[in-house]
A and B are shown apart, each in its own frame.
Chain A
């Protein structure tokens, strides 16, 4: 069979499925929601009981652990699978899912139901819902706001003997760092220190190789050092931006932080490894997405007053940015239950449901929730969440994001963890890789 025949057959099948989806919209008795397997997903299960009670639709869930989440779900989308009716997909998937017709465009639905994107935090709308970016084309409703920030051992910082020692060594108080240079000083100060008879270390940062870990961690730091993905005036022009002197300085800093101040064996750590290192009392500083903060706050070992939270400190030029996380909720185009899936989104967008979502541990992206006067003091980490969400940047969300991400994973891990080559080599290589990918995409 010729490939084009095979493709046309597949396309016919997809059209047929779409036709069925648009015409045969009998009320579903079950909806399947696909997301990552993590704490917020458990909160969403609880929250969705309200939808089940009101709609009579039973919710089913397909939650996949983070390291396999993208593989599993992108396979599902690419194969036109009908497992998921609703997808809470990663922000970077939006370009591919929109261009390949895997998500349903939601503009008409939003207009009909009076759902306004201006009601949501602007960064989450751009990051989770829009494709092309900064255009009013919406493919998702911002579902879970997330951003990389830091938690730290407030109780250790408060110890008088450590305060005194730190001040004598660095000439300033042991306090939340204002710059990345200060952060490294603190991490070095705690590295291999004996506290309560136990050896502790400086910082748990992202170094994972397999999925997206080291890229999320490195980018989180690089933005504040001046890294740019492209020429702001000429899209896809990378030379001199990706591999700028400031970017090189940022990556050298990240490697120095890895070399000096991480716990032994921290060469392949992402969200769960970092949270384990922090909760077990191994590290003073902990880089992670904000979703981990409710769990830290409630933890018997490090929770409550023992931990504090702060957004990314500033880079050498005094500016601070943070890596965006989080996801939007979309209706899968291959689903045969699109009307019911849209009903779920309508229910989820309601302000009172968004308020409950925040109370149950989900980071609502609705401005009415986060701009409420009581929000910032509602949880110890709420203000840090707001501050961090105000400074976000995100990785490429192009249809070729997976290739772009894998190239970054390799270049960063080769340099930061394996110590091969220089930071300049890593970025020059990355420019070459990304240029090739965009060239294949016909961007030049």
Chain B
């Protein structure tokens, strides 16, 4: 009779090891299997987090190995929360976050709605639309700086062509009023396809029988959209908002490439500001407190949001 693989492996296990393993309970075995992952998680996530919290109460600077490290209580936290400039970066981040999410949801859902209709070239268009999100943010940031160039940039040329304005008369990334929109446009261009894909998954998960029943009841397309499509796609939309919200809260690479936080500090998002504190000014303790505040903010908001998402799903 042929032996199964399991039987063969079991048979080949040295007696001493087999005996020891046989003594382990199911629970112990389960722990044995998950232990490597837990150790890794503790080493690369939990320990740094605890260490960061510890550093946040000190005046530690990584570039001053000889300086005395003092425990300064909540001084870093108070200093951050009362710093006008940090609140300005928070405002810049909120502006970026809100507008990118609004635009990406509106455009992403509209595209998904269109792509969901059967038409010729549907697959080709889907592929073309999702291309931007496959690019590296650093590359996207870099080439959009060329597109935004007042003298040679295609973006300025297109705006000039459509409005009759002189393309070199405005600078998207050099003007205080335009720069915040410049980064929103690029992020929307890059990440709308992601929202579209999630919405598309939502739209395709709606059984056609529901629409057929609505047709029988003579419900208009408009009514079907608001009473069937939107409620059933809403959990997917909310998921997309969660993903994009978390991603854009920690947005760094794209904006650094595009504007470097300028002009002035108008597009200096919290992540850029944090990086400057930690790795340019080397205020390690201060930057740790800053990171803890941001972590608590994102974690708190995300937790509330996930609860809301679960409620919507249960309806």
Contact B260 A210, beta carbon cutoff 8 Å: yes
**Chain A nearest CB: distance from B47 CB in Å?**
10
Are B174 and A268 touching (Cβ within 8 A)?
Answer: yes
Which size class do A's interface residues fall under? Answer: 35 or more
User: Contact at B69–A4, with CB atoms within 8 Å?
Assistant: yes
Say yes or no: B63 contacts A78, CB within 8 Å: yes
Select A268's contact among B58, B64, B259, beta carbons within 8 Å.
B259
Q: Is A246 among interface residues, defined by CB-CB distance under 8 A?
A: no
How far does the alpha carbon of A77 sit from the alpha carbon of B64 in the complex, in Å?
Answer: 11
Q: Tell whether A265 pairs with B261 under 8 Å between CB atoms, given A3-B54, A75-B279, A210-B256.
A: no
Identify the closest chain A residue to B55 (Cβ). A3
Contact residues in B for A418 (Cβ distance below 8 Å): 176, 262-266
Q: Are A402 and B66 touching (Cβ within 8 A)?
A: no
Contacts of A414 in B (CB 8 A): 264-265
Q: A412's closest neighbor in chain B, by CB?
A: B264
Choice from B171, B265, B276 contacting A413 with Cβ under 8 Å? B265
Q: Are A100 and B64 in contact (CB under 8 A)?
A: yes
Report the bound CA distance from A130 to B311 in whole Å.
66
Given B59, B173, B283, which contacts A265 in the complex, CB threshold below 8 Å?
B173
Whether A3 contacts B69 by the Cβ 8 Å rule is yes
Q: A378 CA to B276 CA in the complex, in Å?
A: 43
Q: Would B263 and A100 count as touching, CB distance under 8 A?
A: no
The secondary-structure label for the interface of chain A is helix
A264's nearest neighbour on chain B, judged by CB, is B150
Q: How far is the CB of B62 from chain A (nearest CB, A)?
A: 6
Contact with A along B166-189 (1 / 0, CB 8 A): 001101011110000000000000
**Does A380 belong to the interface (CB within 8 Å)?**
no
Give which listed residue, A7, A263, A420, contacts B176 with CB less than 8 A: A420
Flag whether A71 is at the interface (Cβ < 8 A).
yes
Cβ of B5 to closest chain A Cβ, rounded Å: 45
A100–B65 touching, CB < 8 Å: yes
Given contacts A75-B279, A263-B151, A265-B174, whether A7 and B265 have CB atoms under 8 Å apart is no
Total B residues in contact with A, Cβ cutoff 8 Å: 39
Residues of B within 8 A of A402 (CB): 63, 280-282
Contacts of B169 in A (CB 8 A): 264
B132 CB to closest chain A CB (Å) equals 23
A209, B173: Cβ atoms under 8 Å? no
A267 touches B280 (CB 8 A): no
Pair A406/B149 contact, Cβ less than 8 Å: no
Which of A4, A100, A208, A406 is the one whose CB lies under 8 Å from B66? A100
- Among A75, A79, A410, A440, the one with the most B-chain Cβ atoms within 10 Å of its Cβ is A410
Closest chain B CB from A115 CB (angstroms): 28
A417 to B179, CA, bound (A): 12
Question: Per a CB cutoff under 8 Å, which of B148, B149, B263 touches A209?
Answer: B263
B54 proximity list for chain A (CB < 8 A):
3
Q: A10-B65, A100-B65, A263-B151 are contacts. A413–B279 as well, Cβ < 8 Å?
A: no
Q: Which residue of chain A has its CB nearest to the CB of B167?
A: A264
Residues of B within 8 A of A79 (CB): 62
- Chain B residues near A71 (CB, 8 Å)? 279-280
The answer to whether B174 touches A406, judged by C-beta atoms less than 8 angstroms apart, is no
Which of A3, A14, A267, A417 has most B Cβ within 10 Å?
A: A267
Shortest 5 CB-CB distances between A and B: which pairs? A418-B264, A267-B174, A264-B150, A209-B262, A414-B264
13 A/B residue pairs, CB under 8 Å, sorted by A: A4-B69, A10-B65, A100-B63, A208-B260, A268-B173, A268-B262, A399-B64, A413-B265, A417-B263, A417-B264, A418-B262, A419-B264, A420-B264
Other A-B contacts than A210-B261, A268-B174, A418-B263, 20 sampled, CB-CB below 8 A, are A3-B58, A3-B60, A7-B65, A71-B279, A78-B282, A80-B65, A100-B64, A101-B66, A209-B260, A209-B262, A264-B171, A266-B174, A267-B175, A267-B262, A268-B263, A413-B262, A414-B265, A415-B264, A418-B264, A418-B266
